[in-house]
Structure 1
């Protein structure tokens, strides 16, 4: 089979978007001895008479799924609200239609109270990345996301800008020595870190969570793959900040972005599957399957999610502590915020569950960090508490190119050239994380002036990321 059959080929002969299309494509990926034309003929025949294929070794699962689908009745599913409330959106002209469509579906859930779309939004699984959704007594695992508790952390040092440029080799040595990247990668033996999070009794919640503790320990203090990074940069305060007690000026700072590693990803996958078993939604909304907060499963996930958040925070704390000691620096201020999480908050006088999947908490006075790309500035911000945005802001610039598209269209020379132009030293990272793959951070910030005030501007100077093409993010 020279040219693989893709989803568009199957849609053209009568398959519909959804689970069945996935089953059909999976069959096509296996070595089954049929030519492309023979496979297409079989697909057509199964659509017309699935009962003829029930006992077929290759196509039996697809045939059974088609028959079950044909016998489904609307009453078998939780009904979506056909007249949902509108959601707020910021920078709508720069948000892809797929993300907007996903948000529209999320607003149709019977448990939805309110929604908002941030200017860095793009399509994800279930809730779009950059989507904020408030629900009544329900938690959506894919509304939180795969990398539970992913976060930003910033340490501002008492080191002037000039010292960095005079000692770049030292900063590079410490960055390489005290960070570890790559999906699945961790530490072993004497190199493992210790942290009080490992003593959290929530690891004893059930056997599933308990069995993840060793993996969590081995990866404690590491950063994973995808868009996770540890970087040095120059943080500029245009004026004195009384809250942080930092005078106007430029300071060397450490900025980190990573989450709960394999622990959080495994929790997300496990409870999403369970949610889909107990919450039967139509295909268009199946990745938004939710758990009732009053149920034992809902409580289990809530505890595991919060534990993953604490674990992600511990990973950052270890990295920042190592770097502070290695540099012999004094930390003037630390700021940390997370996304890919759910919070209990009061909305219009009632308690709701606010899911921020790739969105920064921005309640009044709440500090946050919104990064750009490896060459674009990031911003230390203070929330304005905008209710229409459900007290949220973007979590970054947001992708304008998929990883696959970036790898196909951006050359190494182009990436090296833009790094050189911006005076950025890069350790690791693939073309999928090239600056050109991201939206213009200045446009994103301009779209959310009602949501946050800028406190300081961070300019990246030395960036380390995973260089193995791993996708944890």
Structure 2
């Protein structure tokens, strides 16, 4: 860890990422870059910023409450190992990827109490409010595309875990877009300029955003837990432990005796003893970690400097365009070759023994850092409780349309 111009930096981010967090820090009280950081939209992924009585719409991001959930089951690897191909097919056929629930499952909790929450009143206009509520019902329990996934793992004791990664889908995207527009005195539903929007939480607009951001957080929790439990059911197991966190969200927290609004964009909360599930890539181990409990003075100082935050993944090292190359959509002609090939991705997965359904070259292990390295860069702020090796990875297909992927 080092301090660069007042910003706490873990790992070795590139200059563009540091420049981006520096611009965020100009408007914030404190700022942190976690070791998996890379350039994002206005605020870098892996960035943390603390404000006084303000919340950053772009900081929380368009995929409000994106996060990860992991369930430890009562199953052992030997019970499912002979059936991985069939189980992968059933998961892919049961869980919906993309925009709406289109697969075999139609029992998502669309009548959860969150749909009657008073926060919906913060959406301007009755017609817009009801349209958004129905969109949210239709998408509850869908995983989306991009880097979102459903995985089955085995830990160091061959215990079977299920892990999922996705957020609040179209609900969060609509809320973020709507308040980005409102902050520029444009109507809800219009496209505002791509600039920062810092909302005062003492204002009517800030309070409305805060209410809907938290509603999207509840929605994401319900969706992830339903999907994870559905997969446990497919495996024929029982849930023994649940680890669940947002990593695109804002919280009111006290640090150094002062209350801040802490925005984590692609960063996992890691207070002492708080558990988190952090993925690597489709072909790498994931981990269950926790903020180091009962830390000594040096570790406690590091945790405080990090605003009790850690990585949310391994972090990208190349963009989707770099991985995929450029293809003419009309003719299919390759205009610029990508840096990752199908052969290279399949070879990696075969060596790791991963059964994959869906997934594109832009999510190949080659486009990510290695998770042990970024965790090492976080120092003793966190400790790994379990290492999870992937058995089944299910993602959206390479050509799956989804306007809400992150």
Is TM > 0.5 for Structure 1 vs Structure 2?
A: yes
Aligned counterpart in structure 1 of residue 95 of structure 2, from 167, 176, 179: 179
1:151 aligns to what?
67
| Counterpart residue number, 1:114 | 30
Question: Structure 1 residue 234 and structure 2 residue 154: aligned?
Answer: yes
Deviations 1:106-147 (CA, angstroms, capped at 9, x unpaired): 1111xx111100010010111111000000010110010110
Correspondence 1:215-234 to 2 at 5 A: 215-234=135-154
The 2-side partners of 1:310 and 1:298 are apart by 19
Q: Secondary structure at the match of 1:120?
A: strand
TM-score when normalising by structure 2: 0.86
Is structure 2 residue 260 aligned with structure 1 residue 340?
A: no
Under a length normalisation based on structure 1, what TM-score does the superposition of the two structures give?
A: 0.74
Q: How far did residue 205 of structure 1 move?
A: 2.9
1:356 aligns with 2:264: yes
Aligned to 1:440: 370
Give the number of the structure whose residues are more often strand, by fraction: 2
| Shift of residue 470, structure 1, vs aligned partner | 4.4
Task: Return closer, same or farther for 1:312/1:136 CA change in 2, 3 Å cut-off.
Answer: same
Distance 2:194 2:109 in 1: 39
Residues matched between the structures, number: 367
Please name the residue that 1:81 is paired with: none
CA distance in 1, matches of 2:82, 2:107: 33
- Of structures 1 and 2, the larger Rg is shown by 1
Deviation at 1:169, TM superposition (A): 3.6
Distance 2:259 2:278 in 1: 27
Q: Using the TM superposition, give the Cα deviation of residue 164 of structure 1 relative to its aligned residue in structure 2, in angstroms.
A: 2.1
**CA distance 1:190–1:170, shift in 2 (3 Å):** closer
Work out whether residues 94 and 105 of structure 2, in 8 Å CA contact, stay in contact via their aligned partners in 1: no
Is 2:278 the counterpart of 1:370?
yes
Contact 1:226 1:470 (C-alpha < 8 Å) held by counterparts: no
Correspondences of 1:101-140 after superposition (within 5 Å): 101-109=19-27, 112-140=28-56
Counterparts of 2:165 and 2:145, CA distance in 1: 10
Q: Tell me the residue number matched to 1:252.
A: 160
Instruction: Tell me, yes or no, if the aligned pair for 1:276 and 1:286 is still in contact at 8 Å.
Output: no
Distance 1:457 1:365 in 2: 17
Are 1:404 and 2:304 matched, yes or no? no
Runs of 4+ in 1 over 6 A off after TM superposition: none
Shift of residue 276, structure 1, vs aligned partner = 4.0
Q: Which runs of 5+ in 2 are unaligned?
A: 187-192, 293-299, 325-337
Q: Contact 1:209–1:304 (CA<8 Å) still a contact in 2?
A: no
Match of 1:290 in 2: 198
Partner residue, 1:194: 109
Following superposition, the deviation at residue 204 of structure 1 comes to: 3.1
Question: Which secondary structure state, in structure 2, belongs to the residue aligned with residue 287 of structure 1?
Answer: coil
Aligned pairs (5 A) from 1:264-283? 264-277=172-185
2:16 aligns with 98
Tell me, yes or no, if the aligned pair for 2:270 and 2:290 is still in contact at 8 Å. Answer: yes
CA contact (8 A) 2:247 2:267 kept: yes
What's the offset of the Cα at 1:177? 3.1
8 Å Cα contact 2:281/2:314 also seen in 1: yes
Structure 2 CA distance, aligned partners of 1:263 and 1:394? 25
2: CA distance between counterparts of 1:209 and 1:398? 36
Q: Which residue, 171, 178, 190 being the options, matches 1:263?
A: 171
In the alignment, what sits opposite 1:303? 211
SS of 2:183's partner is helix
- 2-side partners of 1:234 and 1:325: how far apart? 17
Question: Structure 1 or 2: larger helix share?
Answer: 1
Q: Retained in 2: the 8 A contact 1:429–1:464? A: yes
Per-residue deviation, 1:288: 2.6
CA deviation after TM superposition for structure 1 residue 170, in Å? 4.0
Identify the structure with bigger relative contact order (alpha carbons < 8 Å, sequence gap 6+).
2
1:226 is paired with a residue whose SS is coil
Aligned equivalents of 2:154, 2:16: Cα separation in 1: 36
Partner residue in 1 for 2:327: none
Distance (whole Å) between structure 2 residues aligned to residue 276 and residue 205 of structure 1:
17
Of residues 334-343 and 200-209 in structure 1, the stretch that sits farther from structure 2 once superposed is: 200-209
* Structure 1: 5+ residue stretches without partners: 1-83, 237-248, 279-284
